[in-house]
């Protein structure tokens, strides 16, 4: 018997949970459509809390793009917090959408946006709360189509068994097409299996059940074979012209304060830089920009429609935007008067100049963040960061001149070829900045400086030149963190680090194959969820689960993979070619850098996807 | 410069929104409405917005108030139209007018407190001392709140009671009706409570305008 939704009961349980505003919808800008004949209904699910999901730009874009179609009714659902989950289970209430309080199981399509690997257990938990069988093979025609998308889908193999379709790449054009196909097939009385085969004709649609996987005795892939006419390679979908693509200028304005509670203006997609550890820098290629004129108009609309007083210009590296001076000048003509702040996250040190800082930095912010990623020049060359110590100190000068007295630096521990000298170079660099401050003419009387060194652990990611390199084991990562800590010689330098135990699980699922679905089912059975939340992450439980499933964690996280091995994600084509990635991996070992895509085309292959590009012109 | 008083209902979905979040929602509605709202002076200017005594999460009200100023002057009905269009649907404006008295002069409010329980027992309890443990930022202590209950009529309704209570609701002397419910639940079998603020009064028990 399917669970029914009881509105009275729902109102009662709201009284028993923290932050009930997470579950009620009704925010300004929400789209509430009435159910109509012939519609395709989509429950768009974000497998984390409301505050995190509502900060996700992808969700805003797709919610708007889907609802822009008359025949699509798209509603939202987020992972209920632990207290709400307990209430739902106790009262036999199914998971529901915010807009119409409809159980997920009553939708035609249930779509999950997967942005990080540690949300996988939440996806399963949400399916179970919705009373929907986890495995695609266990769901008959009566269940909704389960669709996956988001950043993780470049290697979604650990989740492959749970999804009917996984949408690879940018969804704002292809998802409405897929919904159109769904409606057409329903009208024709076509069954799910036939629909799935037809769906493979829509750009970027990957139907995991149409592939046969064979393994070798050592656990590596032997073959990955398409069935029933499915394509051997699934090429990601892209938006060719960002100026013409749908963009949400009237996003929902939440009551609750969310993580990014401001206007998010997407400036460009892709990156010209090519840092070798960075997945986003590879999979979002080719580099495509929105024009400054279009962005300025969008910004005006967004402010008018939302009432926000902050606009964040989003991209992977904002200073690479070719029209940045024009855009900021145009915006400042009206934002100052309206008391609206512009913020530029992701600023590179080699392009942080005074003029820009004065334009966009709020006087109230005392600090600024840069990401050198590695302490030594040698290692920065290995990862192709393409910045020098001089660049870093110059950027700090600009910051000091602007009255900033707190510098935060991001680094990665455990990068390929890293030695103890590279680790010690991190606090040394921080010390140089401290010394630089005291020698600086901009030093303010009676003021001091604080430098925060924030260190994460290297996670090998699919579709990066570093995908073949292993992650350091836990002991080694912890040893390196300690070495770094004890090498700090100044009171003005503080050290923060990311838990190695969390990064290890990320690495496992990042490079995972379909054998991990069994581990995920078991993890779900044992109540694992919210793994990206410190208070719920339990590494010892994960060790037990992998052990009990007979799956070796080190095989996925630590192993160095030979270039000629068949990878679990080789059937996905993100644009950038494997040959390019191999070439980059080899150059990294030699410590040879590759110039950015504007200086010289490095032949990554993403230009074959077309689009209005601003790289390799 | 024109002073503006907005009366609104806080019901349904809005009762799950905290005062801080509501405050922010109104500020954003100001920005969307493009009304010439008057800002504070100083380093970090923000619209001058003042609410009547805020209610706790889950409590509902037919008569909440916020005050602000516009410059230049515009007709109240125009303000009401523009603001209504810019506010979330759940926030229903009932009246926009000139303030008659200062918000600090609100002294009492009438609440309907419904609770499932025995009418006679509830009425009996409300006649005596009601000692509750009250903690604020500065101190925590046992206090008798019965002197903050100006009047309380207990009315029998289906399966329970409705207490029509006039409670102290001034900035310096404020009784959160939840204390009454907590006290009842502790002493008799009582559950499924609801709190609705119905009216606000000045010190002479004249309806606040």
Q: What is the pLDDT along chain B (209 residues), one digit of tens a residue?
A: 999 999 999 998 899 999 999 999 999 999 999 999 999 987 778 899 999 999 999 999 999 999 999 999 999 999 999 999 999 999 999 999 999 999 999 999 999 999 988 888 888 888 888 888 888 778 888 988 888 999 999 999 887 899 999 999 998 899 999 999 999 888 888 788 899 999 999 999 999 99
Q: Which residue in the set B28, B44, B89 is minimally distant from A253, CB to CB?
A: B28
> Does the beta-carbon distance from A24 to B27 stay under 8 Å?
no
- In contact, A121 and A528? CB cutoff 8 Å: yes
CB-based contact A93:A9 (threshold 8 Å): yes
In the numeric block, the tokens 């100083």 are attached to B42
Determine the distance in angstroms separating the CA of A399 from the nearest CA of chain B, rounded to an integer: 21
- Listed by start position, the domains of chain A span 7-235, 363-459+470-499
Q: What is the pLDDT of residue A337?
A: 86
Chain B residues in contact with A23 (beta carbon < 8 A): 16
The strand order across the sheet containing A493-497 reads: A367-373, A406-413, A450-457, A493-497
Residues of B in contact with A309 (CB under 8 A): 31
Strand ranges for A22-94 from DSSP E: 40-46, 72-78
Burial A417-443 (b: 16+ CB within 10 A, else e): ebeeebbbbbbbbbbbbbebbeebeee
Residue A68 is predicted with a pLDDT of 97
List chain B residues with CB under 8 Å of A308. 28, 31
Task: Give the closest residue to A591 by CA, choosing from A454, A417, A414, A464.
Answer: A417
CA distance A124 to A134: 6
What is the Cα–Cα distance from B123 to A452, expressed in whole angstroms? 62
Is A21 close to B25, i.e. CB distance below 8 A? no
Topology annotation, domain A7-235: Rossmann fold (3.40.50)
Of A15, A24, A307, the CB nearest to B28: A307
**What is the pLDDT averaged over residues A373-383?**
97
Say yes or no for a CB contact (<8 Å) between A308 and B31. yes
Residue pair B132/B143 in contact by the 8 Å Cβ criterion:
yes
d(CA A406, CA A603): 39
Question: Looking at chain A, which residue has its C-alpha nearest residue B43?
Answer: A364
CATH of B105-201, one of 1.10.260, 3.40.1350, 3.30.70, 2.40.160: 3.30.70
pLDDT at A191 over 80: yes
- Give the best residue of B29, B31, B89 to mutate against chain A (max A CB count within 10 A): B31
Distance, CA of B36 to CA of B47 (rounded, Å): 10
Distance from B32 to chain A by nearest Cα, in Å? 5
Task: Tell whether the model's pLDDT for residue A192 goes beyond 80.
Answer: yes
Task: Say if residue A475 is exposed, middle or buried (CB neighbours under 10 Å; 0-12, 13-18, 19+).
Answer: exposed
CA closest to B90 among chain A residues: A26
Residue A616 has pLDDT above 80, yes or no: no
Q: Across the interface, which of A24, A307, A339 has its CB nearest the CB of B13?
A: A24
Check residue A364 and give its pLDDT.
Answer: 59
User: For A7, phi and psi rounded to 5 degrees?
Assistant: -65, -40
Under an 8 Å CB criterion, which residues of B touch A?
A: 13, 16-18, 21-22, 24-25, 27-32, 34, 39, 44-45, 57-58, 86-90, 192
Contact B16 A339 (CB under 8 A): no
Check CB contact of A14 with chain B, cutoff 8 Å: yes
Total residue count of chain B as it appears in this document: 209
Please give the structure tokens belonging to residue A477. Answer: 């990562």
The distance from CA A509 to its chain's CA centroid, rounded to whole angstroms, is 14
CATH code, residues A363-459+470-499: 3.30.750.200
* pLDDT tens for each residue of A301-312: 999 999 999 999
For B46, the closest chain A residue by CA position comes to: A339
Residues A207 and A575: their CA atoms lie apart, in Å, by 19
C-alpha distances in angstroms, A355 versus A324, A325, A328, A352?
12, 9, 11, 9
Share of residues in chain A with pLDDT > 70 (%): 98
In sequence order, which residues have a C-beta less than 8 Å from that of residue A86 and are 6 or more positions away? none
Of A26, A256, A338, the CB nearest to B88: A26
Q: Do residues A398 and A437 lie in contact, with contact meaning Cβ atoms separated by under 8 Å?
A: no
Q: CA nearest B32 in A: which residue?
A: A307
Task: Specify burial of residue A532 (Cβ count, 10 A radius: 0-12, 13-18, 19+).
Answer: buried
Q: How would residue A3 be classed by pLDDT, with cut points 50, 70 and 90? A: low
Query: Taking residues A99-103, what's their average pLDDT?
Result: 95
pLDDT higher than threshold 80 for residue A583: yes
pLDDT in tens, A225-266: 999 999 999 999 999 999 999 999 999 999 999 988 999 999
- Judged by a CB distance cut-off of 8 A, whether residue A365 touches chain B is no
CB contact under 8 Å between A307 and B44, yes or no, is no
Distance CA A492, CA A437 (A): 11
pLDDT reported for residue A204: 97
Strands B108-116 vs B131-135: parallel, antiparallel or unpaired = unpaired
- What is the C-alpha separation between A183 and A537, in angstroms, rounded? 41
For chain A, how many helices (H) and strands (E)?
20, 19
Q: How far is A77 from chain B (nearest CA, A)?
A: 17
- Find chain A residues with C-beta within 8 A of B22's C-beta: 255
Q: Is A190 helix (H, G, I), strand (E, B) or coil?
A: coil
Q: Is the pLDDT of residue A363 over 60?
A: no
Contact A15 B58 (CB under 8 A): yes
Chain A residue numbers with beta carbons less than 8 Å from the beta carbon of B192 are 12
Percent of chain B with pLDDT over 90: 67
Which residue of B25, B89, B192 is in closest CB contact with A255?
Answer: B25
Could you report how far apart the first and last alpha carbons of chain B are, in Å?
20
Mean of per-residue pLDDT scores for chain A: 94
Residue count (chain A): 617
Short-list A142, A67, A122, A127, CA closest to A100: A67
CB within 8 A of A96, min separation 6: which ones? A5, A10, A77, A102, A103, A104
**CATH class of the structural domain B2-99:** alpha beta
Neighbours of B59 (CB within 10 A): 18
| pLDDT given at position A290 | 96
- Residue A540, chain B, CB below 8 Å: the answer is no
Neighbour-count burial for B150-176, b at 16+ CB within 10 Å, e otherwise: bebebeeeeebbbbebbbbbbeeeebb
* pLDDT at residue B5, rounded to an integer: 97
Find where tokens 């040879």 sit.
A592
Q: Which residue has the tokens 């990206």?
A: A532
Find, among A596, A548, A542, the residue nearest to A287 by Cα: A596
**Angstroms from A242 CA to nearest CA on chain B:** 27
User: Given this model, what pLDDT does residue A355 score?
Assistant: 77
The answer, yes or no, to whether residue A114 has pLDDT greater than 90, is yes
Closest-CA residue of A relative to B23 is A255
CA distance B131 to chain A (A): 25
Q: What is the pLDDT of residue A362?
A: 59
Q: What is the pLDDT of residue B41?
A: 85
Residue A55 has pLDDT above 90, yes or no: yes
Which among B32, B44, B89 has CB closest to A305? Answer: B32
Interface test with B, best of A305, A307, A308, A365 (most B CBs within 10 A): A307
Angle between helices A539-549 and A516-525 (to 10 degrees): 120
Q: Confirm if B137 and B94 have CB atoms less than 8 A apart.
A: no
pLDDT tens digit string along A394-422?
999 988 988 888 999 999 999 999 999 99
Considering only the beta carbons, identify the residue of A256, A305, A339 that sits closest to B21.
A256
Q: What is the model's pLDDT at position A429?
A: 96
Question: What span, in angstroms and rounded, lies between the C-alpha atoms of A338 and A334?
Answer: 6
The HSE-up count of residue A76 (CA atoms within 13 Å, CB side) is 32
Contact A304 B32 (CB under 8 A): yes
Are B88 and A309 in contact (CB < 8 Å)? no
- Residue A592 in this model has a pLDDT that exceeds 70: yes
**Predicted local distance difference test score (pLDDT) of residue A612:** 86
For B121-166, how does the pLDDT look when each residue is reduced to its tens digit (9 = 90+)? 888 888 888 888 888 778 888 988 888 999 999 999 887 899 999 9
Neighbours of A6 (CB within 10 A): 15
**CB neighbour list of residue A390: distance below 8 Å, 6 or more residues apart:** none
Substitution target from A19, A28, A340 for chain B, most B beta carbons within 10 A? A28
A122-180 pLDDT, tens digit per residue, is: 999 999 999 999 999 999 999 999 999 999 999 999 999 999 999 999 999 999 999 99
Say if residue A1's pLDDT is above 60. Answer: no
Q: Could you tell me if A309 lies within 8 Å of chain B, comparing CB atoms? A: yes
Task: State the span(s) of chain B assigned CATH 3.30.70.580.
Answer: 2-99
Rg (CA), chain A: 24
């Amino acid at each position: 018997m399917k669970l029914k939704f009881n509105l009275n009961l729902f109102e009662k349980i709201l009284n028993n949970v923290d932050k009930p505003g997470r579950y009620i919808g009704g925010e300004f800008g929400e789209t509430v459509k009435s159910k109509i004949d012939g519609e395709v209904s989509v429950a768009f699910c974000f497998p984390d809390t409301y505050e995190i999901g509502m900060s996700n730009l992808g969700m805003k874009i797709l919610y708007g793009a889907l609802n822009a179609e008359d025949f699509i009714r798209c509603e939202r659902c987020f992972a209920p917090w632990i207290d709400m989950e307990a209430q739902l289970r106790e009262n036999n209430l199914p998971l529901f959408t915010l807009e119409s309080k409809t159980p997920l199981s009553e939708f035609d399509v249930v779509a999950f946006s997967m942005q990080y690997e540690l949300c996988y257990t939440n996806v399963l938990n949400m399916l179970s709360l919705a009373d929907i069988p986890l495995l695609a093979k266990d769901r008959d025609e009566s269940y909704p189509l389960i669709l996956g998308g988001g950043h993780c889908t470049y290697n979604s193999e650990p989740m492959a068994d749970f999804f009917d379709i996984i949408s690879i790449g940018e969804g704002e054009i292809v998802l409405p097409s897929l919904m159109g196909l769904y409606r057409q097939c329903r009208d024709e009385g076509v069954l799910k299996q036939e629909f799935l085969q037809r769906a493979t004709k829509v750009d970027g649609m990957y139907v995991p059940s149409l592939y046969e996987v064979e393994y070798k005795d050592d656990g590596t892939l032997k073959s990955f074979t398409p069935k029933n006419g499915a394509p051997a390679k699934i090429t990601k979908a892209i938006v060719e012209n960002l100026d013409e693509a749908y963009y949400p200028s009237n996003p929902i304005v939440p009551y609750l304060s969310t993580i990014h509670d401001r206007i998010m203006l997407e400036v460009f997609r892709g990156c010209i830089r090519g840092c070798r550890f960075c997945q986003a820098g590879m999979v979002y290629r080719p580099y495509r920009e929105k024009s400054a004129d279009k962005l300025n108009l969008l910004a005006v609309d967004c402010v008018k429609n939302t009432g926000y007083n902050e606009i964040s210009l989003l991209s992977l590296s904002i200073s690479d935007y070719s029209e940045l001076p024009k855009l900021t000048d145009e915006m400042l003509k009206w934002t100052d008067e309206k008391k609206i702040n512009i913020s530029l996250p992701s600023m590179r040190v080699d392009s942080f100049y005074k003029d820009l800082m004065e334009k966009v930095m709020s006087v109230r912010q005392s600090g600024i963040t840069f990401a050198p990623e590695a302490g030594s020049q040698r290692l920065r060359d290995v990862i192709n960061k393409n910045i020098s110590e001089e660049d870093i100190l110059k950027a700090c000068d600009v910051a000091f001149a602007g009255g900033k007295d707190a510098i935060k630096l991001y680094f990665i521990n455990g990068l390929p070829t890293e030695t103890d000298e590279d680790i010690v170079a991190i606090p040394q660099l921080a010390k140089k900045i401290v010394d630089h401050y005291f020698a600086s003419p901009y030093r303010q009387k009676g003021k001091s400086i604080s430098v925060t060194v924030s260190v994460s652990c290297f996670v090998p990611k699919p579709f990066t030149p570093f995908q073949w390199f292993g992650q350091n084991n836990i002991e080694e990562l912890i040893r390196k963190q300690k070495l770094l800590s004890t090498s700090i010689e100044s009171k003005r330098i503080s050290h923060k680090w990311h838990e190695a135990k969390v990064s290890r699980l990320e690495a496992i699922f990042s490079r995972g194959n379909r054998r991990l679905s069994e581990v995920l089912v078991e993890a779900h059975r044992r109540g694992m969820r919210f793994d990206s939340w410190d208070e719920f992450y339990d590494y010892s439980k994960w060790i037990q689960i992998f052990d009990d499933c007979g799956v070796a964690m080190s095989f996925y996280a630590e192993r160095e993979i030979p270039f000629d091995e068949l990878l679990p994600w080789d059937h996905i084509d993100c644009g950038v070619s494997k040959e390019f990635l191999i070439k980059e991996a080899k150059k990294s070992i030699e410590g040879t850098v590759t110039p950015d895509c504007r200086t010289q085309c490095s032949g990554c292959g993403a230009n074959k996807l077309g689009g209005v590009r601003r790289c390799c012109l | 410069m024109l002073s503006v008083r907005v009366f609104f209902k806080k019901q349904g979905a809005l009762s799950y929104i905290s005062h801080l979040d509501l405050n922010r929602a109104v500020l954003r509605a100001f920005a969307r409405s493009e009304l010439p709202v008057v800002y504070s002076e100083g380093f970090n200017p923000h619209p001058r917005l003042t609410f009547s005594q805020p209610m706790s999460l889950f409590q509902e009200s037919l008569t909440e108030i916020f005050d602000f100023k516009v410059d230049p002057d515009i007709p109240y009905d125009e303000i009401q139209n523009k603001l209504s269009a810019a506010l979330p649907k759940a926030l229903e404006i009932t009246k926009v007018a000139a303030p008659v008295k200062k918000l600090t002069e609100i002294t009492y409010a009438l609440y309907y407190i419904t609770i499932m329980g025995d009418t006679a027992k509830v009425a009996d309890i409300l006649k005596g001392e009601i000692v509750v443990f009250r903690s604020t930022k500065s101190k925590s202590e046992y206090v008798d709140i019965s002197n903050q209950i100006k009047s309380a009529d207990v009315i029998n309704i289906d399966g329970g009671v409705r207490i029509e209570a006039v409670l102290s609701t001034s900035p310096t002397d404020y009784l959160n009706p939840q204390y009454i419910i907590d006290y009842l639940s502790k002493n008799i079998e009582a559950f499924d409570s609801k709190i609705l603020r119905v009216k606000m009064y000045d010190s002479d028990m004249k309806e606040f305008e």
